[in-house]
A = this chain, B = another copy of it.
Amino acid sequence: MIPQANSMSTATPRPPFFLGVDLGGTNIKAGVVDDNGRPLSWAAPDGRTQSCVEIATEAEKGPEHGIQRICQAAREAVANVGLTLNDIQAVGVGSPGPMDLEAQIIINPYNLPGWLNLPLAKRVGESLGLRSVLQNDANAAAFGEFWAGVGRGRRSLVQFTLGTGIGCGIVVDGKLLEGRHSHGAECGHIRIDVRPDARLNNTGLRGSLEAYASATGVTARAREALQKSDEPSALRDVEGGGGKLTSKTIFNAAKEGDALATRIVDETAFYLAVGAVNLMHTIDPDVVVFSGGMINAGDFLLEKIRKYVVENALPVPGEKTLVAFAQLGTDAGFIGAAGCARSSFATSASSPTSTTARAP
């Protein structure tokens, strides 16, 4: 069986091959990626093309069980594309933080309760007989977009992943910016509002970007706007009608012309633009990328962000920096984790390099 490289089904996958694992509190994704950043795919029983195995993490059953689950998903992914572990060069594992990248351990991730001070990638690598590298999940996703998505062929990238919080990853000259204390690219926590009563996020910090522009922040601001006035709004009926107020319902209402929802979306675009501009005035990358469920709003959101970027940036970065939405969707995590393994271990990889090599 000859594996197929996804999204370019006519192209023959280019060895060496790398395993990428995207570990979340709910699900594990594992896939095999070729030397060109293309996931290998297979036809599922229902005929659909698949490029990764996705199974439940069952995080509450503890880290030993979790490591078994990761290895199970990884072995299935390799088998599904007709390869064996002998064909795999190395494995990369993206995990929620906080972590110590120098020590290659996760410390105490909020979404993985009880997974304490664990050399996660090392344990997975030992079990699979592969060299391994650990990376922060948002960093891995950014590296995926850099290697194989909107950043392909570029030198530097900043990515914001919009979800419950705002994750971030930064690539400069082909390398992930990990930081001295494994806290590089925690840009969801940059403060954009110095008022003493600025919004709180779940870390207890005030005025952070994610308190305003994460999906949680967007929903909270909409709810407050509804409570503050009697202004008619389609959103007012959502929760009363048994629906749920989410960033998606808010964006949809704005697209249909709802005035209150439109204000919330405009403000969201402005806050996201401030985040982008602050990174442009710090990193000055080729491209600033937004990813996560919120980008399903499409050009409706992207055009607003771009307008506010130009208004708030210095002229040169404002004109020259590409502001774009991610291309790899939820595959960016495992693709980027595989890319980190490639950067750490592949002898044939001339670029990009993300991390220093770690012992097998």
Report A's interface with B, CB cutoff 8 A. Answer: 98, 155-156, 170, 172, 177-187, 189-195, 203, 205-206, 212, 270-271, 274, 277-286, 312-314, 316-317, 320-321
Contacts and interface: CB of A to CB of B under 8 A. Distances in A.
7 contacts: A155-B180, A178-B284, A183-B317, A186-B284, A190-B277, A194-B274, A206-B312
Contact of A282 (B282, B284, B320): B282
Contacts of A183: 280-281, 284, 314, 316-317
A271 to B, nearest CB: 7
Given A192-B192, A194-B271, A205 B314 contact: yes
A205 B278 CA distance: 12
B177 A283 contact: yes
A34 to B, nearest CB: 28
A217 to B, nearest CB: 12
A281 to B, nearest CB: 4
Contact of A172 (B177, B203, B271): B177
A314 B188 CA distance: 11
Nearest to A267: B194
Q: How many copies does the complex hold?
A: 2
A314 B203 contact: yes
B317 A281 contact: no
B191 A284 contact: no
Nearest to A196: B270
B156 A281 contact: no
Given A190-B278, A271-B194, A314-B189, A283 B203 contact: no
Contact of A187 (B155, B177, B180, B282): B282
A278 B283 CA distance: 12
A281 B186 contact: yes
Contact of A281 (B155, B189, B286, B320): B189
A271 B284 CA distance: 22
A185 B183 CA distance: 18
Contact of A321 (B177, B181, B205, B274): B181
A270 B207 CA distance: 13
A156 to B, nearest CB: 5
A187 B271 contact: no
Contacts of A178: 284
Nearest to A317: B183
B191 A277 contact: yes
Contact of A179 (B177, B194, B284): B284
A284 B181 contact: yes
B316 A283 contact: no
A194 B270 contact: yes
Per CB-CB distance, the 5 closest pairs between chain A and chain B, nearest first, are: A179-B284, A183-B284, A184-B284, A190-B278, A186-B281
A198 to B, nearest CB: 9
A287 to B, nearest CB: 9
Contact of A98 (B282, B316, B321): B316
